[in-house]
Each structure stands twice: as structure tokens, then as C-alpha cells.
């Protein structure tokens, strides 16, 4: 089997570390693993398989002899570093939103549109975590009857804001218990024992950046420019795994029974749908694994040809790191 030189850009962040973990778990065929991060992380040691790898500073020449780059940095750093990586001959799988809507950059969820990987011109984009979770959950339903419209509410864990989100929730809970002043930094308001109905800045009509991603990215991934999505994104005091309430309107009716039949064998999905026995998806179940749990499937009683469901998934793994590694697996599949 051919082996590849792989670089992880942003290796010491939450998603970067998860990418390293997933590469090892899935036995990706690696010749050299190069870990790149900012100057402050230089010299940090990270274990990969039986090796200890020292983190290097990301620079313009860091991508020489690299075949695949997994990007786990923000938009500005992606725009800075990724052109250098492509120029050096690497294919980049980017987790930021910097290139997702570019016409010449495939936006890929392997369970849905892996064929788009071959259209790349050096960069392949990883979708937003909430987009991945929602689309994996509804993909088989969409194939059975095309989805015209989605109404979605997301309940997003604090780890979606990185390690600072987790620390803030921890610190605030402790401060409240000890009757101390609650300090906010990662979020605009106290997140402990609270919900915040804002993720990202609002546009001129009142939708946040996060809320528009599902429509814009969903249209591209599903190859459906007419898809309509109304989304509300909420930050919740949960450590890990996002949950979503989804209502879909389809061209033809999908009964709850048919939906269960389709989802029972859907790629990337685990059906947990026995509400009478209190069995349904919860973030507590879905952390640190890669399946999207789907349940609470029922007819939408307010509209014809409409169905409601509830899903949960680990946004750091399938919503980011694992999806990127799966894209890399598709990328090399013709060579192994």
C-alpha cells in the first residue's frame, strides 16, 4: 500500500489533535506525519502510534514534500498558508470556512457527495460541523424524495468554540457554586445554566453567520440550489456534541415508518427511535464517536409532505476531524 506524507496545520488545537487521533484510529497510510502550529507551540511533543512527534512552526516552506495537508486553523491563517501548501504540490483538506463557497473548491461530506473530491484544484473544503451533522441525518431521506425546505434549530456544545469554551463553562459553574463573580470571555453572556441564541455576527435581516451556513453549504453539497433553510443556532451548556431539531418538507410524502426504514441502513447514521421507552439521541451518547444518532421521527402535523426528527453528533469528530480524514481516504482511494 502506498504511504503518504501528511501535515496537520493547527496540530495543537482541539480539531488538530482530534485529526491526529483519527488518523491513527483509522490506520491512514502515513509515511511522515508533520505537525505544524504557531510559534508558541513549537517543541511540544505529541504521540502518534508508537512515535513521539515534535511540533514545528508553520512557515511558508513547511509543506515541502507533503502530499496531504489537513487544515485546522481559522480563516485568516487558512488564506495565508494554504496557497503555499498548494504551490508546494500538496492537496489541502481545509476545516475553516475560508474556501467553502468558492466555485472551484469541492465541499464534501463523503457519505453524500464523495465524487466531488475529484474536482479539486488543490483545496477541498470540510463543511461546517452543524451542516455535516444535519445532512448526514437527512441524506437518505433526500435521496428518496428531494427536500425542498428545512427548518432547523441547533443546540451547540461549548467545545464548538474550542478549549476556551470548555474552560469558560467549567469556571463559571465553579464560580456560581462558590458565589463568586461570573466572568465571560468566550461567549457574549454567561453560558453556565443558560442558553445563548447567537453564534456568529448577525446580518442585516437578523440571521447569524452560523445560521446561514446550513442553507449555503447544504445547497452546494446536495447539488440543490433551490433548497430553502430557516435555521436558529443556540449555544448550550453541554461540553461536547451538537444536537439539532430538523423539520423537512419533501416533494413527495415520506411516512415516519419509511423514514425509519431508510435511516436504519443509512451510511453514518445510528437510528435510536423508541420514544415510548425513552430511547432517543442525546449528546451524552454521541461524544467521541463518528455516527450521527437520529430519532424522534414523526409526521409534521402543520404541513403536508413534512417530517420532523432529532439528531445528535460529535462536532469535533464527524463534524470536523473525522470528516476531513474520510475525505483524505477518498482522495487516495484510487492509488491504494
User: Which cell goes with 13?
Assistant: 488545537
Q: Is 149 left (phi over 0), alpha (psi -120 to 50) or beta?
A: beta
Residue of 120, 231, 233, 242 with catalytic role: 242
Residue of 129, 231, 233, 311 with catalytic role: 129
Q: Is 303 a catalytic site residue?
A: no
Helix (H) or strand (E) holding 271: strand 269-271
DSSP 230: E
Q: Is 129 a catalytic site residue?
A: yes
CA gap 71, 74 in Å, rounded:
9
CA gap 304, 247 in Å, rounded:
12
Among 44, 31, 125, residue whose Cα is nearest residue 78:
125
Alpha helix stretches (DSSP H) within the chain: 14-25, 75-87, 110-113, 129-144, 163-177, 209-222, 256-264, 283-286, 322-332
Three-class SS state of 265: coil
CA gap 336, 328 in Å, rounded:
12
Catalytic machinery residues: 129, 242
Amino acid at each position: 500500500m502506498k504511504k503518504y506524507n501528511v501535515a496537520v496545520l493547527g496540530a495543537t488545537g482541539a480539531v488538530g489533535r482530534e485529526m491526529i487521533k483519527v488518523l491513527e484510529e483509522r490506520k491512514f497510510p502515513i509515511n511522515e506525519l508533520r505537525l505544524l502550529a504557531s510559534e508558541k507551540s513549537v517543541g511540544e511533543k505529541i504521540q502518534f502510534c508508537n512515535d513521539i512527534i515534535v511540533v514545528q512552526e508553520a512557515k511558508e516552506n513547511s509543506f515541502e514534500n507533503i502530499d496531504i495537508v489537513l487544515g485546522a486553523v481559522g480563516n485568516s491563517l487558512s488564506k495565508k498558508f494554504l496557497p503555499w501548501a498548494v504551490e508546494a504540490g500538496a492537496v489541502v483538506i481545509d476545516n475553516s470556512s475560508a474556501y467553502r463557497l468558492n466555485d472551484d473548491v469541492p465541499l464534501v461530506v463523503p457519505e453524500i457527495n464523495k465524487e466531488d473530491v475529484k474536482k479539486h484544484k488543490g483545496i477541498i473544503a470540510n463543511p461546517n460541523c452543524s451542516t455535516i451533522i444535519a445532512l448526514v441525518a437527512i441524506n437518505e431521506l433526500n435521496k428518496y424524495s428531494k427536500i425542498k425546505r428545512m427548518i432547523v434549530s441547533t443546540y451547540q456544545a461549548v467545545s464548538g468554540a474550542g478549549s476556551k469554551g470548555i474552560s469558560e463553562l467549567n469556571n463559571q459553574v465553579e464560580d456560581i457554586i462558590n458565589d463568586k463573580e461570573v466572568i465571560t470571555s468566550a461567549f457574549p453572556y454567561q453560558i453556565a445554566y443558560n442558553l445563548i441564541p447567537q453564534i456568529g455576527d448577525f446580518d442585516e435581516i437578523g440571521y447569524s453567520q452560523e445560521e446561514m451556513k446550513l442553507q449555503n453549504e447544504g445547497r452546494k453539497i446536495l447539488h440543490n440550489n433551490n433548497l430553502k433553510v430557516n435555521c436558529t443556532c443556540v449555544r448550550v451548556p453541554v461540553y461536547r456534541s451538537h444536537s439539532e431539531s430538523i423539520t423537512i418538507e419533501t416533494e413527495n410524502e415520506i411516512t415516519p415508518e419509511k423514514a425509519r426504514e431508510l435511516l436504519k441502513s443509512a451510511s453514518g447514521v445510528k437510528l435510536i427511535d423508541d420514544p415510548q421507552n425513552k430511547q432517543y439521541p442525546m449528546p451524552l451518547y454521541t461524544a467521541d464517536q463518528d455516527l450521527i444518532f437520529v430519532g424522534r421521527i414523526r409526521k409534521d402535523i402543520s404541513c403536508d409532505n413534512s417530517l420532523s426528527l432529532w439528531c445528535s453528533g460529535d462536532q469535533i469528530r464527524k463534524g470536523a476531524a473525522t470528516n476531513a480524514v474520510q475525505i483524505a481516504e477518498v482522495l487516495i482511494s484510487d492509488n491504494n
